[in-house]
Homo-oligomer: A and B are copies of this chain.
Amino acid sequence: MIDVLIVNNEIKAKAFLNEIENKKPLFIATIATTETGKIPGLSAAGANPDFTDFTPPADAELLLLGKCKSIQGVPITPDGIPTPALITTSALQLADIPVLIVNGGVKVKPQVPFIDVNGNPGRDIRTGDSVDNVEEVIERAKVVGEQLAKVSDYLVIGESVPGGTTTALGVLTALGVDANGKVSSTLPANPHNLKVGVVTAGLKAAEDKLGKINGDPIKAISAVGDPMMAALAGLVIGGSKQGPVLMAGGTQMTAVLALINALEPKALCNVAIGTTRWVAKDESSDICGIIKQFCDVPVLAADLDFGPSQYPGLRVYETGLVKEGVGAGGSSIAAMAKTGRAVTKQILLKEIERNYASLMQIK
């Protein structure tokens, strides 16, 4: 397909693209917040660390209402760069794709309707005890994922959880996957050493508290994961029984893949990852290098290019800031596929610029 790059497993990737072409998806944003996301230097998903509590609910509001209610304007990085939910919102609007929010566990509830799966916000993974109620959240998310997959041709499931690549590294490591230096970052200079330090502390604390994790996915999330993972894994497992599922995200999704692989591997037959070119081409991370260690799930990337944008705040995406989030890449792919390629990357950029100017009040 025009403007979609194939990043992993060409045969399965093409088959997946064929399967979703001209089909009607439902987009689900799975939101969560954690204390991990507030560790200084780890995430750019908020103007400052405490602000990360507001980013996921504000992203949810942007998707459903076209504007935020919990904050003024839209979530931004410390440098003032807008949330990737701007991309997602633009893609969903262009292709008239419906959207629902699943609350994996947030400290600040969004001021829009959301699906409750009984999740709580996450603690700092350095405690080794980061997520409550993992099995129950997975079970409930399975139930709702199956119902939602019945009403749509396929599901596109994204995430908004600040600090999510660190918890991804935690869970991947706990499950025996070598992800050191391979997870992505919202920051152009990926703070790999900081992440490894946090994860090592978390795994050590977890072993003291829970004993060896030994590949147990429930223990891995409970110890060093985040609440998005339990909800998203459940949604994918439930949804993939009924139809294809596009997991819309970057290297965070590889942690969810590893969890699904441990929980219910046959679910992976009906799954692809959809991300952005910025993740696919990122030299400071390696999404395929993670996936290939345990499965052959195809990876697609929306060939987004903000280089031609008239706005410096969007052009900066080309320097590696933000890269992905809130299903930006997957929703772009879904918008292109649903409209029979009428939505191109140029048309999408125009819509993103229009929304950017309006939401950032640029004249």
Q: How far is the CA of A166 from the CA of B99 in the complex (A)?
A: 36
Contact A116 B113 (CB under 8 A): yes
Quick one: CB contact mask for A94-127 with B, threshold 8 Å, 1 for yes? 0010111001000001011111111000000000
Size range of the chain A interface in the assembly: 20 to 34
Which residues between 139 and 182 of chain A lie within 8 Å of chain B, taking CB atoms? 140-141, 143-144, 147-148, 150-152
Give the number of times this chain occurs in the complex, counting copies.
2
**Which among B24, B116, B143, B151 is the interface contact of A65 at CB below 8 angstroms?**
B143
> Residue of B at shortest CB range from A61?
B143
Q: How far is the CA of A96 from the CA of B26 in the complex (A)?
A: 19
Q: How far is the CA of A98 from the CA of B145 in the complex (A)?
A: 11
**A64 interface residue (CB < 8 Å to B):** yes
Contact B114 A150 (CB under 8 A): no
Task: Tell me which residues across on chain B come within 8 A of A96, comparing CB atoms.
Answer: 150
Task: Tell me which residues across on chain B come within 8 A of A65, comparing CB atoms.
Answer: 143
Q: List 22 A-B contacts (CB under 8 A).
A: A26-B151, A64-B143, A64-B147, A65-B143, A96-B150, A98-B148, A99-B147, A100-B144, A100-B147, A103-B116, A109-B116, A112-B140, A113-B115, A113-B116, A113-B117, A113-B140, A113-B141, A113-B143, A113-B144, A114-B116, A115-B116, A116-B116
